[in-house]
Amino acid sequence: MGEPVAVAHETVEEMYADSVRRHHERRRREIRAAWYGHHEHMRELHARLSREHEEKAMKLLEGEG
């Protein structure tokens, strides 16, 4: 009679472990997506800054600055 309880308990533990694993996988995906968003934002910011500096440099070369 003690064995079915042990099997049921093990099943609950396995279910819990699987739930924790799925939770961690979901969090890793969320965190990766957030970091991707951060780096994409930084890429856009630096591209804009690069264009602005290129324009300023060209104006200096042309004697406008």
- pLDDT beyond 80 at 45: yes
pLDDT given for residue 5 in this prediction: 52
> Tokens 């799925």 correspond to what residue?
22
Listing DSSP states for 18-62 in one string gives HHHHHHHHHHHHHHHHHHHHHHHHHHHHHHHHHHHHHHHHHHHHT
Q: For the whole model, what pTM was predicted?
A: 0.67
Percent of the chain with pLDDT over 70: 86
